[in-house]
Structures are given as C-alpha cells and as structure tokens.
C-alpha cells in the first residue's frame, strides 16, 4: 500500500501563502471575465421571447428531469436544459462518483493544495456527467451551534478558514468547467424548524462572521449562490432584498445568480423584486404550487415585476454559463437521479481522498509516543465503527443510518460510496504484512469489546457521532445532534476496553466535537486519533497515520470543549436572536474557558520550532474606499502587511506543520481577543526549515463599523502559533 501513497516529503521546504492566488498557470483556465460573459449574455438575450426567459429562470418542477434541478432549453441560442445536481462532497444519486472527504475534514487538513485539487476533481466529475451546476461548497451553516446537523458539509466555524476553503474549492470547480453554488445563504445554522424559524443577525455580526466566507465566494467569481429556507429579520431569505439585493449584489458586487433552495421560494413577485434569479426545483415537492413560469410572465405583464428585472435574471444566468465556458461542447447529462445507476466519472480521483483522509486526521493524544505502531504482536479492533455496515455502506438512502464506520453524515449533501475501506479492512492488510494477530469485536457491546481487548498488545476502539439534514431522523437525532456525546454508548465501550488494556487507542469519526471527559485522562487511553469524516478511503488514511508512513498533520477546525454548555450556543426552538461575535474559540478566549482541545490543535510525530518573526508593511487606518468591484471595494483585498516566520522541523522524522497567524485588534474595536488571519502548511524533512508567509489584506485588519470596513488605529498584536493557544511568536503592527 505504501507504494501508491503520494510522497508528502520534499527535501526542500515548500512554503506557500494560503491567501495568495494559486499558481495554476499550467492548467488551462476555463473561466473568461464577467465582462466578456455579460456581453455574450446581452447578445443572446436580444434573441429571447418572454417565454424563453421565464423558462431559463424557472425550474421544470420536482422530478421533472434527470437532475435534482432542471430548466428549459432555448434552441435559438444553443442553450441547454440546465442540469443542477447535489452536492458538496461528490455527485449525489450516481454510482461510481467519488465519495470525497466531507468539507469539515477538508478543512482539518488546512492544506489549500489538497482543497483546491478536491474542488477540481469534483468539477471534473460533474462535467464528465453533463452537470452544469454543482450544488456546493457550503459556508452556511458556518457552525455557530456545535450540534447543528449540517455543520460537517462546510468548513467549520472560523470564517477566515472557511473563506479560504470556499475560494479554493470554487476556483478548482469552475476551472474544471462546472458552475459552483455557494450555499446556504444565510443564517441557516440549524435543522430544527429551518423552514419557519428566523435568524435575526445584527449587521456587524453578519459581516464579520456569516457573510465573510460568502464574500470570498463572490471574490472567487462563484457562478451562483443559493438562498436558504430560514427568515432573516422576519423575511424569508429568498424574498429578502436586504440580503440579496443589498448585501450580495450591491455591496459585494455579485454578478452571478441567486437560486432558491428547493422550495424555499414563497411568492412570485416578492422573490423577483428581492433579487432572486432562479427558482428551484420550480414547484413544491408535491409537484404543485408553481410560483414562477407562467405566473412570472403574468407578473411582468401586469407590471408587478419589471421586464428589466427578468432581463437581469436571464443575463445573470446566461453570463454564469458563458463564464465557465459551458457554451462550447459541454457534455449532456445521461444519468437519472431517480434511478441510481453506474456511471463512468472519467478519472481516478481517489488519490485526493486518500491524502485528505490521512492529512485531515488530528492526533489529539499520544502518551509516551504510543503511536506510531511498529509491528505489534497482537491488536484488538473494536466497535461497529471499525467495519462497513453489514447491510452495506449505501444501505440507507442518503446515508440516513449509522450502522457501520462513519465516513460522511446524512442528507442531500451525500454521495453513494463506490466502495468504502473501513478501519478494520486496512488494519488487517497491514497486520498481515507485519505478522500481527488481530482479534475483533465489531459491535458496540462493552463486555464483548473488553474480552476481545484483554490479551492484545494494543486495543483500537472505533467510535463515532453522526448528524445530517432534518428530513431524516436517525436514532432520534432529527438532523441536529441531540447532544455532543458519542453514539452507541461509545464512552462505555472505551472505558470497558481501557479497563483491561493498558494501550488503548481511540479512533473517533465525527461530524463535529464530542465530549470525551469520561475517558480522555484515563492513563490507559494512550492515544486519541481524531479521524473526522474521511470519505471512501477512510481506513487507508487511518493506517497511514497509525503506522507512521506519514506523520499526522491535521489541526482541529473547531474547539473541542469539556462540556456542551461551554459553547454558549444552542438550537433555537423559534426565532433566534442570540447572535454575537463570540462563537467557538472567540468565546472560549473571551470568557477564559479552558477547552479540552483548542481550535487549531493537533500533534505530530515530530517537533517544530518557531523563530525569526518579521513584519513588513505599514497599513493605514480608516475605511476601505477603493473602486467597487466583485468582492466590494478593491483595496479591501490588497495586502497591506506581511508576517513571516521560520519554522524548523527539530524532531526525528519528516512531517508537516500548520503555523497559524492570529490577530488581536486595538481594544477600541471591541473584537474577540484574537482571530485567525493566516495559515500555511509546510512540509519539512527532519532538520529542514521553511518560511511561513502570512499576507494580511486590508480586510484582515478591518472591522465593520457604521456600514463600512474600517481599519481601526492603535496596536494590533500578531501571534504565530501551532494552535490558537500554543502561540510561539508575537509581534506588533501599529496603525
Ligand atoms: C437585521 O436586523 C438587525 C438589527 O436591527 C440589523 O442590524 C441588520 O442589519 C438587519 N439585517 C438585514 C439584512 O436587514
Ligand atoms: C519533541 O520534543 C519533546 C521535548 O522537547 C521531546 O520530549 C519529544 O521526544 C520530541 N519528540 C520528537 C518526536 O522528536
């Protein structure tokens, strides 16, 4: 197996600033400029009847077409029936598509090259299948509430990390030729009552947290954005001119189109005049209640919707299609979502899943270098999470059960597994090479687990915690998690095994943080491997880390607390008016709450030393005032200072480190104590050094004040560390 692992170790230190545009000059960009795309769209528009126009912006209705969303073709301009398909980690309803790592696992790699490649592979598979619009990536939910059911589809509760991941994913997808769709816009942080509840988000919180990653998406030229089910300040997102026309189109200069989430539209004219540009799927799920189509045409005829508004919708939709080059020889969809069949996705993309499964793993505990394993005589592998579910990895529709190893959550953001390598599968392969004997107990019975473990040199206990979309309830979790405990009595299983085995290794597959207080300090639990939601290559990536062919390099994209209450956010039963700047580590820092494992934390098999911090640049205070373009004022995105630091691998083996930059603002700005504003991933041989480079954009030093982005004057602290609480170097920028 080692044979096909892509070597991660370069003899010369690689360093790349995560916020700089990737050097993909060798790959041919499919993306033309918005201006060019709009001029083609304007020419095409002139040839269209009102019926054509309405057909372009209205879905054909639920299940009226092969894709989850379809629109009408217009022969006169060579425009196809648009195929819109889920989802963010792979192509839904197709057997043979790659089941990539989930968004949250991609984030835990902190590796922009892998994230971009994942986006590119997602886009290549979509194009091969004739999908025009792939419904991802996800920046909403952001992850305000740790039990939120769909948090795992996105990149975690830090807007900076999520923003970078959005940008890289979107650029990767769109360069491959598919239109990306940034979703769900906005304030959709829970599954409970998502279709009726309201999110009353103050303007500043909106800008500094929830809108932030959508701004990255817009700046990355995302073709489309999806408005969410919930209300904002009493008005449904897809009917809300404040968030569509004002925030996205005027303030951020978004030039693509806003589509509704499926059946999230409520009125014919309200949605049109608020700035919505496409309705999906075009009817409700009973194939009734058609709000656009003929009704939109009547609204134009009666003057309730201006003709110019419909022309604007059409231009936006057509421009996005031209933008990514879909007017030139794009394939036609041949699959049928409503009858899952096998398709050839035209490439082997599992290498990315293997790398992410491995590099997204976060090593949380490793007493006395218990890991990596080296040809142990015997091991026991325990837990239902160690094997593929007996009924098969795809036995439950949209992965709506939790019977075997967990490699993705449930809901519309899932894909069929083409195969799934479970922990036990990969461990057995390794054990055979090493001559290790393996005993197993592949259920969650604590007594049986303990008896399998008692005579083994090592016991590997696999446990999990799942969540998903609210239309499916799994083991009484209605989308959102009931709590942050391990499922299936995982705590009892770990404790029973640790009672009889002094070298117990816990492997956790999870959609988000779990509370592990009942066993984390147990001295017999010598290692904890946070294995996330790795996708189809799960077991292989795990073995890479357990046996040390690669040193672990993942870092937590969220905080793991000691109690659920410490997060201070909860699923709302009605409207939610509890929004502030203090989510995840921002709150733990402000309230001085000790987490179990802090945001950005992760151990390695080697050590890194930090030295030689240097700061260049002289930012000026005051508002961003540059020319408004895509993404807002141009100067908001300009680099105004650069921080560098030297990182040395001072341990015994090769490894990768994620140095992180946190910025503390002048106290007058009343921000959280520190906020992530940069990261690198440096792959370093033993003894090698590299330079971490953190470009700070004007945006990264700005706060939202009275309707604009302003750099406050005063002292900014810059902290470079191995986690949010392991700061190794500090400096100061005076503005
Ligand atoms: C929602 O209301 C809050 C509080 O008045 C306000 O700060 C915010 O800007 C409003 N949001 C929108 C999109 O209008
Ligand atoms: C890292 O450093 C610590 C203390 O400096 C040492 O105990 C440990 O063995 C080192 N680990 C490696 C893998 O070099």
Q: Where are the beta strands (DSSP E) in 624-674?
A: 628-629, 632-633, 639-649, 655-657, 660-664
What backbone phi and psi angles, to 5 degrees, belong to 565? -60, -30
Q: How far is CA 241 from CA 218, 225, 262, 270, 615, in A?
A: 17, 14, 19, 9, 42
Residues 6+ apart with CB under 8 A from 229: 184, 188, 194, 195, 236, 237, 261, 264
Q: How sure is the predictor about 27, in pLDDT bands with cuts at 50, 70 and 90?
A: very low
Rounded mean pLDDT, 550-559: 99
**What letter would DSSP give residue 243?**
I
Work out the end-to-end distance of the chain between its first and last CA atoms, rounded to an integer number of angstroms: 53
* Closest-approaching ligand to the CA atom of 551: 2
Count CB-CB contacts under 10 A for residue 434.
15
What backbone phi and psi angles, to 5 degrees, belong to 532? 60, -140
Q: What does the block give as tokens for 378?
A: 């015997």
Q: What does the block give as tokens for 48?
A: 């269209």
Ligand 1 binding pocket mutation candidate from 187, 199, 202 (most atoms within 8 A of CB): 202
Q: Is the pLDDT of residue 632 over 80?
A: yes
Cα torsion 2, 4, 7, 8: sign? negative
Rounded mean pLDDT, 602-608: 98
Q: What does the block give as tokens for 419?
A: 């195969």
Q: Which domains does the chain have, with CATH numbers?
A: 23-333 (3.20.20.300), 361-591 (3.40.50.1700), 608-734 (2.60.40.10)
Ligand 1 atom with the smallest distance to the CA of 204 is 7
Ligand 2 binding pocket mutation candidate from 363, 607, 610 (most atoms within 8 A of CB): 607
Nearest residue to 597 via CA among 606, 608, 584, 609? 584
Residues 393-406 have pLDDT tens digits of 999 999 999 999 99
Residues 170-194 have pLDDT tens digits of 999 999 999 999 999 999 999 999 9
pLDDT of residue 5: 30
Cα torsion 414, 419, 422, 426: sign? negative
Q: How sure is the predictor about 16, in pLDDT bands with cuts at 50, 70 and 90?
A: very low
CA distance 271 to 284: 15
- List residues near ligand 1 (CB under 6 A): 200, 202-203, 232-233, 242-243
Residues 435-479 have pLDDT tens digits of 999 999 999 999 999 999 999 999 999 999 999 999 999 999 999
Task: Tell me the CA–centroid distance for residue 607 and ligand 2, in Å.
Answer: 6
Q: How sure is the predictor about 3, in pLDDT bands with cuts at 50, 70 and 90?
A: very low
CA distance 45 to 77: 9
pLDDT of residue 26: 37
Task: Tell me the CA–centroid distance for residue 300 and ligand 1, in Å.
Answer: 30
**What letter would DSSP give residue 170?**
H
* Closest-approaching ligand to the CA atom of 368: 2
Residues 6+ apart with CB under 8 A from 33: none
pLDDT of residue 31: 75
Q: Is the pLDDT of residue 556 over 80?
A: yes
pLDDT of residue 30: 60
Q: Is the pLDDT of residue 690 over 80?
A: yes
Task: Tell me the CA–centroid distance for residue 245 and ligand 1, in Å.
Answer: 14
Residues 508-523 have pLDDT tens digits of 999 999 999 999 999 9
- Reading phi first (left if > 0) and then psi (alpha if -120 to 50, else beta), residue 411 is in left
CB 229 within 8 A of CB 237: yes
Residues 6+ apart with CB under 8 A from 81: 60, 65, 70, 71, 72, 73
Q: Is the pLDDT of residue 267 over 70?
A: yes
pLDDT of residue 377: 98
261 classed as catalytic = yes
- List residues near ligand 2 (CB under 6 A): 605-607, 651-652
What backbone phi and psi angles, to 5 degrees, belong to 173? -65, -50
Residues 75-106 have pLDDT tens digits of 999 999 999 999 999 999 999 999 999 999 99
Task: Tell me the CA–centroid distance for residue 652 and ligand 2, in Å.
Answer: 8
Q: What does the block give as tokens for 258?
A: 């806003």
CA distance 481 to 512: 10
Closest-CA residue, ligand 1 atom 13, reads 242
CB 503 within 8 A of CB 454: no
Ligand 1 binding pocket mutation candidate from 140, 187, 201, 707 (most atoms within 8 A of CB): 201
What backbone phi and psi angles, to 5 degrees, belong to 138? -110, 125
pLDDT of residue 7: 31
**What letter would DSSP give residue 268?**
S
Task: Tell me the CA–centroid distance for residue 259 and ligand 1, in Å.
Answer: 22
Which neighbouring-strand residues pair with 232? 199, 235
pLDDT of residue 8: 32
Ligand 2 atom with the smallest distance to the CA of 607 is 1
Q: Which helix (H) or strand (E) holds 462?
A: strand 458-465
Q: Which helix (H) or strand (E) holds 173?
A: helix 159-175
pTM value is 0.96
pLDDT of residue 21: 38
Closest-CA residue, ligand 2 atom 3, reads 607
Mean pLDDT across the chain, nearest whole number?
95
Closest-CA residue, ligand 1 atom 5, reads 202
CA distance 644 to 675: 17
- With pLDDT > 70 as the criterion, what percentage of the chain qualifies? 96
- The catalytically annotated residue of 261, 385, 444, 589 is 261
* Closest-approaching ligand to the CA atom of 654: 2
CA distance 729 to 660: 10
What backbone phi and psi angles, to 5 degrees, belong to 438? -120, 125
CA distance 519 to 525: 7
Residues 693-713 have pLDDT tens digits of 999 999 999 999 999 999 999
Rounded mean pLDDT, 354-375: 98
CB 317 within 8 A of CB 57: yes
Residues 103-124 have pLDDT tens digits of 999 999 999 999 999 999 999 9
4-8, 360-364, 501-505, 647-651: which range is least confident on average?
A: 4-8
Task: Tell me the CA–centroid distance for residue 514 and ligand 1, in Å.
Answer: 33
pLDDT of residue 17: 36
- 3-state secondary structure labels for all residues of 362-428: EEEEEHHHCCCCCCCCEEEEECHHHCCCCCCCCCCHHHCCCCCCCCCCECCCCCCCCCCCCHHHHHH
Q: What does the block give as tokens for 655?
A: 């490894």
């Amino acid at each position: 197996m080692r044979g096909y692992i892509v070597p991660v170790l370069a003899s010369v230190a690689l360093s790349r600033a995560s916020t700089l545009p990737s050097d993909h000059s060798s790959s041919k960009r499919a993306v033309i400029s918005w201006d060019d795309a709009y001029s083609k769209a304007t020419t095409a528009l002139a040839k269209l009847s009102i019926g054509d126009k309405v057909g372009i912006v209205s879905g054909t209705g639920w299940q009226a077409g092969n894709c989850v969303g379809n629109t009408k073709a217009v022969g006169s301009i060579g425009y196809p029936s648009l195929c819109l398909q889920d989802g963010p980690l792979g192509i839904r309803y197709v057997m043979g598509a790659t089941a990539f790592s989930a968004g949250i696992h991609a984030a835990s790699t902190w590796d922009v090259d892998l994230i971009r490649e994942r986006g590119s592979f997602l886009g290549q598979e979509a194009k091969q299948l004739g999908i025009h619009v792939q419904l991802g990536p996800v920046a909403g939910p952001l992850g305000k509430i740790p039990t939120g059911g769909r948090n795992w589809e996105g990149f975690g509760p830090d807007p900076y990390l999520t923003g970078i991941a959005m940008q890289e994913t979107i650029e990767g997808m769109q360069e491959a030729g598919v239109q990306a769709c940034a979703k769900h816009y906005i304030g959709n942080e829970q599954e409970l009552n998502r279709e009726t509840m309201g999110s009353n988000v103050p303007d500043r919180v909106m800008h500094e947290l929830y809108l932030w990653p959508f701004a990255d998406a817009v700046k990355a030229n995302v073709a489309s954005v999806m408005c969410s089910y919930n209300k904002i300040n009493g008005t449904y997102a897809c009917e809300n001119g404040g968030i569509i026309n004002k925030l996205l189109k005027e303030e951020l200069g978004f030039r693509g189109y806003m589509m509704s989430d499926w059946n999230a539209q409520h009125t014919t004219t309200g949605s049109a005049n608020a700035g919505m540009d496409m309705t999906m799927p075009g009817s409700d799920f009973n194939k009734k209640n058609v709000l656009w189509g003929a009704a939109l045409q009547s609204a134009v005829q009666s003057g309730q919707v201006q003709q110019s508004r419909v022309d604007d919708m059409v231009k936006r939709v057509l421009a996005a299609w031209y933008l990514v080059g879909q007017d030139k020889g794009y394939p036609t969809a041949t699959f049928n979502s409503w009858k899952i069949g096998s398709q050839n996705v035209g490439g082997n993309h599992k290498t990315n899943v293997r790398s992410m499964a491995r590099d997204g793993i976060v090593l949380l505990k490793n007493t006395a270098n218990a890991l990596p394993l080296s040809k142990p005589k015997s091991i026991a592998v325990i837990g239902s999470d160690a094997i593929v579910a007996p009924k098969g990895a795809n036995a439950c529709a949209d992965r709506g059960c939790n019977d075997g190893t967990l490699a993705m959550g449930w809901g519309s953001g899932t894909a069929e597994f083409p195969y799934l390598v479970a922990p036990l599968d990969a461990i057995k392969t390794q054990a055979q090479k090493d001559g290790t004997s393996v005993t197993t107990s592949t259920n969650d019975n604590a007594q049986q687990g303990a008896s399998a473990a008692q005579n083994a040199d090592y016991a590997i206990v696999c446990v999990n915690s799942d969540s998903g979309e609210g239309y499916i309830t799994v083991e009484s979790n209605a989308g959102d998690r009931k709590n942050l405990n391990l499922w299936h009595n995982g705590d009892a299983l770990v404790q029973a095994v640790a009672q009889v085995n002094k070298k117990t290794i816990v492997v956790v597959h999870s959609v988000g943080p779990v509370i592990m207080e009942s066993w984390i300090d147990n001295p017999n639990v010598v290692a904890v491997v946070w294995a996330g939601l790795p996708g189809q290559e799960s077991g292989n990536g795990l073995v890479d880390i357990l046996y040390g062919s690669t040193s672990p390099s993942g870092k937590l994209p969220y905080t793991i607390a000691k109690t659920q209450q410490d997060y201070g956010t909860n699923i709302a039963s009605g409207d939610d008016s509890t929004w502030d700047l203090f989510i995840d580590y921002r709150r733990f820092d402000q309230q001085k709450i000790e987490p179990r494992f802090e945001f950005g934390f992760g151990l390695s098999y080697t050590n890194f030393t930090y030295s030689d911090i240097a700061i260049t640049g002289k930012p000026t205070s005051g508002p961003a005032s540059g020319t408004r373009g895509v993404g807002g004022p141009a100067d908001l995105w300009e680099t105004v200072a650069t921080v560098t630091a030297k990182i040395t691998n001072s341990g015994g083996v090769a490894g990768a480190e994620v140095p992180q930059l946190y910025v503390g603002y002048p106290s007058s700005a009343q921000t959280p104590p520190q906020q992530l504003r940069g990261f690198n991933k440096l792959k370093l041989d033993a003894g090698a050094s590299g330079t971490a480079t953190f470009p700070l954009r004007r945006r990264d030093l700005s706060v939202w004040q009275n309707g604009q982005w302003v750099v406050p004057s005063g002292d900014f602290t810059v902290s470079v560390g191995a986690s949010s609480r392991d700061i190794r170097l500090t400096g100061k920028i005076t503005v």
